[in-house]
Amino acid sequence: MIARNIVLRRLAAFVCAGAALASTHAVAAYPDKPIRLVVPFAPGGGTDLVARTLGAGMAKELGQPFIIENKPGAGTIIGTDYVAKSPADGYSIVIATFAYAVNPSLMPRLPYATDKDFAPISLIARGPNVLVVRADSPYKTVKDVIAAARAKPGRLTFASQGNGTSAHLAGEMFTNLAKIRMTHVPYRGAGPAITDLLGGQVDMIFGTAAAVATFVDSGKLRALGVTSASPSAALKGVPPIGRDLPGYQVESWYGLYAPAGTPADVIAKLNAAARKAAASPAFAKKIEQEGLSIVASDPAELDRYVKAEEARWRKIVKENNIKAE
């Protein structure tokens, strides 16, 4: 009987040791399959471009493919919620933008909690939006737009890549400070919005620099102003909108999040890969040409930055009575 108990104890110890070794091996082996990077917008916009460029660099660092999965809709909520409800194993992450910090103020009943359901990975880049019109538009300056909107209240239209996005709130703040009325037309991504702008279905967009830079460079769109407080080095000759509209300032940004509960060592690997990818010459050149500055932060900086943005926009949304619809 004693001998049998000794055998059983040794067997149990062996099983426990084996399980611990297997667990350690599983974590150490991350990643051992492709990683899904969810873009909460349609293909073709600035966020999609940043995600694909960054994902290619991270794939090289981690040795596994990055599958870019576009899940547009509901002002980024559909794609963001998908990741919030994904397994916390590091194989599903989301590229978050301005909307992530603003949606809690605009949408009181989100299907997820931004402060509880996500683990920050890295703040990748920050930059201005750009007010652009078609090359054949009669509007040559910000003052032209304001004058036309005052002459035709509600007739001028501005597109966005969805409710709650930087393009949407940039337009809403513009109309509030200028005391004018324009009609907001939301799309399921910057790509479709710009397509309709080029086609004449809408009058303008306060697009991210990443989304509109190519069209400005090619002469298809005309840049009237940047939403940052200072001129952008990448958009020479384009003045800040705040020069004609004191107090006006909006900033776009890109960051990576994983589901809450993702192991700390997995977050560390993702962060290291993101920072190396963002520091690569190819990514740096691509981003800098589009008016963005690379940050490539640690997780804590993304967390601090987004919390500050949430607080700032909660105040702005309330004071200006800005609505999601």
pLDDT at 318: 84
Residues 42, 113 within the same domain: yes
Alpha helices of 250-298 — where are they, by DSSP H?
A: 264-278, 281-288
Residues 155, 117 within the same domain: no
The enclosing domain of 45 has a CATH number of 3.40.190.150
Residues 211, 278 within the same domain: no
Residue 207 lies in a domain: yes
Residue 18 lies in a domain: no
Residues 236, 286 within the same domain: no
Residues 60, 75 within the same domain: yes
From CA 170, how far away is CA 204, in angstroms rounded? 12
Domain boundary among 243, 260, 287: 243
Closest CA to 279 of 292, 291, 296: 296
| Average confidence (pLDDT) per 10 residues, the chain, 325 residues | 50 48 55 97 88 96 98 93 98 96 90 96 94 97 97 96 88 93 92 95 93 91 94 86 93 95 98 96 79 91 96 84 69
From CA 119, how far away is CA 302, in angstroms rounded? 10
**Number of residues that this document lists for the chain:** 325
Residues 99, 176 within the same domain: no
Domain that holds residue 211: 128-243
From CA 20, how far away is CA 148, in angstroms rounded? 69
Residues 176, 117 within the same domain: no
Residues 122, 256 within the same domain: yes
Residue 13 lies in a domain: no
Residues 112, 172 within the same domain: no
Residue 45 lies in a domain: yes
Residues 236, 263 within the same domain: no
Number of domains in the chain: 2
Residue 49 lies in a domain: yes
pLDDT at 45: 80
Residues 77, 143 within the same domain: no
pLDDT at 23: 43
pLDDT at 189: 85
User: Using alpha carbons only, how large is the chain's radius of gyration in Å?
Assistant: 23
Identify whether the C-beta of residue 46 lies closer than 8 Å to the C-beta of residue 121.
no
Domain boundary among 188, 209, 243: 243
From CA 122, how far away is CA 271, in angstroms rounded? 6
Residue 266 lies in a domain: yes
Residue 3 lies in a domain: no
Domain boundary among 192, 209, 243: 243
From CA 156, how far away is CA 190, in angstroms rounded? 19
The torsion region of residue 182 among left (phi > 0), alpha (psi -120 to 50) and beta comes to beta
Residues 40, 103 within the same domain: yes
Residue 169 lies in a domain: yes
The enclosing domain of 239 has a CATH number of 3.40.190.10
